[in-house]
Amino acid sequence: MLAYIGRRALLAVFTVWAISVLSFVIIQLPPGDYVSSYIAQMASMGSVVSDEEAQNLRIQYGLGQPIYVQYWKWMKQIAEGNFGFSMEWRRPVTEVIGERLWLTVVVAVAALLLTWVLALPIGIYSAVRQYSLGDYLATFIGFIGLAVPNFLLALVLLYLGFTLFDAHIGGLFSPELQDAPWSLARAWDLCKHLPIPALILGLAGTAQQIRIMRANLLDELRRPYVVTARSKGLSEPRVIVKYPVRMALNPFASTIGYTLPFIVSGSIIVSLVLGLPTVGPLLLRALISQDMFLAGTIVLLLGVMTVIGTLISDILLVWIDPRIRLEDT
Amino acid sequence: MAIATDAGSVPGAPIADAQRVFVASQWQLMWWRFRKHRLAVASGIVVAGFYLVVLGADFLAYSDPLASEAQRSLMPPQPIRWFHDGRLRPHVYGFKGARDPLTFKRVYQPDPGQKIPVRFFAQGFEYRFLGLIPTSRHLVGVDPGRDASVTLFLLGTDVQGRDLWSRLMYGTRISLTIGLLGVGLSLVLGVVLGGFSGFYGGAIDTVIQRVIEILRSIPTIPLWMGLAAALPRDWSILQVYFAITIIISLLGWTELARVIRGRFLALREEDFVVSARLVGCSQMRTIFVHMVPSFMSHIIAAATLALPAMIISETALSFLGLGLRPPAISWGVLLQQAQNVQTVAISPWLMIPAIPVIVAVMAFNFLGDGLRDAADPYGR
């Protein structure tokens, strides 16, 4: 079991490294180096950067040195908690991102939880009552969920909410609590606003999970041990929940690794449509105005958090599935 | 199972039918099996329809997709009315434009008094049909010239007064070819890397599998956004088009590689592959003459299933303003105008480009499912 977790952790470290390289590439891609853009930006606002300051910045970021040195210096600063300076906001990147990162996590986790809460019972129902009306309904909604890109779904819901109920369904907070400090009222307000974004983000994943759960459970229900359990006189719910559902759950859990990146990806663009205060709108703005340290940091942090989430799900999987625990190769 | 029922389903000549199955080629068997998947066949027809639109976009469009006119901003759709006085006389109602006295917005009222006849195969702007034949005939149109108020906007107009129907036709062309090209590129990467991985196994396999795992655990949209935002602003439409295709397929090949590796692994130990190796076929010959044809169908199915993701990616990027940029037209570019709820609430027809996206994604998914089931006609 430890060997398994160790392997996953090692892969996670590699993934984080790959993400950091890709983020660095994104920072490097626009023409010109950071300091020249910084000077130009300052000049456009009417302030002048002294030669000395420019020189200091060049040394700090290792500009003019080989690319791997620059990467190394960037990484070293990140290790010290310094993510660079946002040109557009003229504040440190960490300050600009602030609580938006945590709100992104909250939205993603809510979507993931909702996926599970919906997919598990619906999947079980679909398998146990195969070809029933409910099964067809679940299949139909599933196909819609897979076929409609989530940002279009957000757009349609926003439109329906606006025209039918005259309500704005976007956002994560009521206007009066938008900038308020954290309090119980604000947390409750967040909870009230969460379901719609979570549903939009989670629908595609839910659809997929329902199909996986249904297929797995159908396979398991035909196994001889189910017949044995029935013939021993176990009650029907117990027969189903105790063994086949537990067996069918394994592939279900192992797909979180792919669901989470998908949800995080989707949250960026859905946040834009719904106007959620996550890092999504920030990233788009940073990319358009070529505020590269901010953009690179957001890509890096999103990636790292996805990897951590995936690692947690891997460990959960070991906990659920004794076969992996005992495999230990 | 399917073969047996296929042969037995026609009463009368079971023996002849059984023989037909025995002598049928692999592709023939696949076609028989595919045909039974009704939904997939219907989806195949829809997909074929979409690609006909791709070919004939300029014939189906009736006005220049870039011709804008501030006077006709945000006009509602004009549905075709087929009958007049009980006879087939396709026409649309004209519009009376006026200013709302309160908001000073332009509002349009359909005017039943003014009937504009719709002509088929009408004259319009000049283009080359299929890129070859110069012509100016279009599927529908109105008599041009006479009067500025004589217009045809089947799906309404956008903010700049451009005809949505015509733009949708051109957008379909770009969105669907980008998907196709993207899948093509992913396929090259997938076949090469997945093939290496599955055929050789060992260390190469491990490395490629880990790379795939890493790529799959990274959220793609932020990365795409980062890469797409770095494209120089002064690039031409064509350059951006290819760059976006490459960006999308760079991260989209992993699923295809996984499928292809799986097929290689499954076939590597098959008798016919072993015997090909034993009689001294070169590696290249073993792969391309003996192995690839036997899972060609799987590749086609996997590629079809990969297309929707490509279409959605392009639409999403363009929707954000990071993908294709106007004057290029794609579904995503068209949907950009629907970003603002207030605008959409007043002019709901701006959401129409979402319909082909959803229909295309569904059709490709069903078609891919059917192809995947048919890909292995000997199984089960």
Closest CA to B98 of B90, B86, B113, B110: B110
Q: So what's the pLDDT on residue B147?
A: 57
CB atoms within 10 A of CB A48: 9
Backbone angles phi and psi of A320, in degrees to 5: -75, -40
User: How far, rounded to the nearest angstrom, does the alpha carbon of residue A304 sit from its chain's CA centroid?
Assistant: 10
Q: Using the CB atoms, write b or e for A215-243: b if 16+ within 10 Å.
A: ebbeebbeeeebeebeeeeeeeeebbeeb
Report the pLDDT value the prediction gives residue B377, as an integer from 0 to 100. Answer: 67
- Do the domain assignments include residue A124? yes
* CATH number, domain with residue A174: 1.10.3720.10
Residues 169-188 in A contacting B (C-alpha not used; CB under 8 Å): none
Task: Note the maximum CA span of chain B.
Answer: 88
Residue A293 lies in a domain: yes
Tell me the percentage of chain B whose pLDDT exceeds 90.
Answer: 4
The answer to whether residue B6 scores a pLDDT higher than 50 is: no
Task: Please state, in angstroms and as integers, the Cα–Cα distance from residue A147 to each residue in B88, B356, B362, following that order.
Answer: 38, 11, 5
Q: Which chain B residues have a beta carbon less than 8 Å from that of A31?
A: 232
Among the ranges given (A131-140, B6-15, B63-72), the one the predictor scored with the smallest mean pLDDT? B6-15
Of B94, B97, B107, B111, the C-alpha closest to B146 is B94
Mean pLDDT along residues A138-161: 84
**Identity of residue B322:** L
pLDDT reading at A329 higher than 60: no
Q: Which residue of A has its CA nearest to B221?
A: A265
pLDDT tens, residue by residue, A157-193: 888 888 887 777 777 777 776 777 777 788 888 888 8
- The alpha-helical segments, DSSP class H, found in chain B are 2-8, 14-23, 26-35, 38-55, 57-60, 164-200, 202-216, 220-229, 237-252, 254-268, 271-278, 283-285, 292-320, 331-336, 341-346, 354-374
Which of B210, B321, B362 is nearest residue A143 as measured by Cβ atoms?
Answer: B362
For A72-82, the pLDDT digits (tens) are: 888 888 888 88
Question: What pLDDT shows up at residue B4?
Answer: 46
For residue B58, the 8-state DSSP code is: H
For residues B194 and A101, give the distance between their C-alpha atoms in angstroms, rounded to a whole number. Answer: 36
Of B320, B342, B362, the CB nearest to A269: B320
Q: Are B327 and B237 in contact (CB under 8 A)?
A: yes
Contacts of A296 in chain B (CB under 8 A): 226
Please list every residue in chain A whose beta carbon sits closer than 8 Å to the beta carbon of residue B218.
Answer: 15, 18-19, 22, 261, 303, 306
Look at residue B149 in the predicted model and tell me its pLDDT. Answer: 59
The amino acid present at A42, given as its one-letter code, is M
> How many C-alpha atoms does A179 have within 13 Å on its Cβ side?
0
Query: Within an 8 Å CB–CB cutoff, is residue A261 touching chain B?
Result: yes
Q: Does A183 fall in a domain? A: yes
Report residue A326's pLDDT band, with 50, 70 and 90 as the boundaries: low
B185 to chain A, closest Cα gap in Å: 21
Chains A–B, number of C-beta pairs less than 8 Å apart: 126
Nearest CA in chain A to B211: A15
Is B219's CB within 8 Å of A303's CB?
yes
Q: Compute the 3-state secondary structure of chain A and give helix, strand, coil in percent, each to the nearest 5.
A: 80, 0, 20
Note the pLDDT of residue B192.
85
Which of B320, B325, B366 to mutate: most A Cβ within 10 Å? Answer: B320
Query: Does residue A116 lie within any of the structural domains?
Result: yes
Q: Closest partner residue to A147 among B217, B230, B358, by Cβ? A: B358
Contact between A324 and A314 (Cβ < 8 Å): no
Q: What's the pLDDT tens digit per position in B152-183?
A: 777 777 777 788 888 888 899 989 998 889 99
The chain B residue lying nearest A160, using CA atoms, is B345
A150 pLDDT exceeds 60?
yes
Tell whether A87 is covered by a domain.
no
Closest CB to B225 among A31, A257, A283? A283
**Chain B: nearest CA to A316, how far in angstroms?**
17
CB spacing of B217 vs A257 below 8 angstroms: yes
Residues of A in contact with B361 (CB under 8 A): 146-149
B46 band by pLDDT with thresholds 50, 70 and 90: very high
**Confidence class of residue B279 from pLDDT cuts 50, 70 and 90?**
very high
Give the range among A120-129, A224-233, B369-378 with minimum mean pLDDT. B369-378
Distance from CA of B62 to the nearest CA of A (A): 28
B80-119 per-position pLDDT tens digit? 777 777 777 777 777 777 777 776 666 777 777 777 777 7
Of the candidates A14, A22, A287, the beta carbon closest to that of B322 is on: A287
User: By the CB < 8 Å criterion, does A292 face chain B?
Assistant: no
Q: Which residues does chain B have within 8 Å of residue A169's beta carbon, measured at their own beta carbons?
A: none
Whole-number average pLDDT of chain B: 80
Q: How many CB atoms lie within 10 A of CB B158?
A: 23
Residue A17 lies in a domain: no
Mean pLDDT of B191-203: 83
- Rounded to whole angstroms, the Cα distance separating A210 from A115 reads 9
The pLDDT, as a whole number, for residue B380 is 47
Return the sign of the alpha-carbon dihedral for residues B70, B74, B76, B82.
Answer: positive
Among chain B residues, CA nearest to A283: B222
Distance CA A151, CA A249 (A): 29
Give the model's pLDDT for residue A187.
82
- Look up residue A242 and give its two tokens: 């105790």
Query: Count of domains in chain A?
Result: 1
Taking a C-beta distance cutoff of 8 angstroms, is the pair B154, B165 a contact? yes
Give phi and psi for A286, each to the nearest 5.
-60, -40
Instruction: Looking at the complex, report in whole angstroms how far the Cα of residue B318 sits from the nearest Cα belonging to chain A.
Output: 11
Of A146, A156, A307, the CB nearest to B217: A307
Q: Please state whether A80 falls in left (phi above 0), alpha (psi between -120 and 50) or beta.
A: alpha
CB contact under 8 A, A152 and B227: no
| Beta-carbon separation of A143 and B320 below 8 A | no
| A139 or B379, which is more confident | A139
Q: Within 10 Å of residue B11's Cβ, how many Cβ atoms?
A: 7
pLDDT score at B45? 92
A26 touches B at CB < 8 Å: yes
User: For B305-328, what is each residue's pLDDT tens digit?
Assistant: 888 888 888 898 888 888 888 788
pLDDT at residue A327 is higher than 60: no
Q: What's the pLDDT score for residue A280? A: 86
The answer to whether A11 contacts B213, with C-beta atoms less than 8 Å apart, is yes
Q: How far is A298 from chain B (nearest CA, A)?
A: 8
Which DSSP state fits B286?
I
Q: Is residue A40 part of a domain?
A: no
Q: Which residue of A has its CA nearest to B229?
A: A287
User: Who among B218, B320, B338 is closest to A19 (CB)?
Assistant: B218
Taking residues B248-265, what's their average pLDDT? 84
Domain that residue A247 falls in: 93-328
Q: What is the pLDDT of residue A90?
A: 76
Per-residue three-class SS string for chain A? CHHHHHHHHHHHHHHHHHHHHHHHHHHHCCCCCHHHHHHHHHHHCCCCCCHHHHHHHHHHHCCCCCHHHHHHHHHHHHHCCCCCEECCCCEEHHHHHCCHHHHHHHHHHHHHHHHHHHHHHHHHHHHHCCCCHHHHHHHHHHHHHHHCCHHHHHHHHHHHHHHHCCCCCCCCCCHHHCCCCCCHHHHHHHHHHCHHHHHHHHHHHHHHHHHHHHHHHHHHHCCHHHHHHHHCCCCHHHHHHHCHHHHHHHHHHHCHHHHHHHHHHHHHHHHHHHCCCCHHHHHHHHHHCCCHHHHHHHHHHHHHHHHHHHHHHHHHHHHHCHHHHHHCC
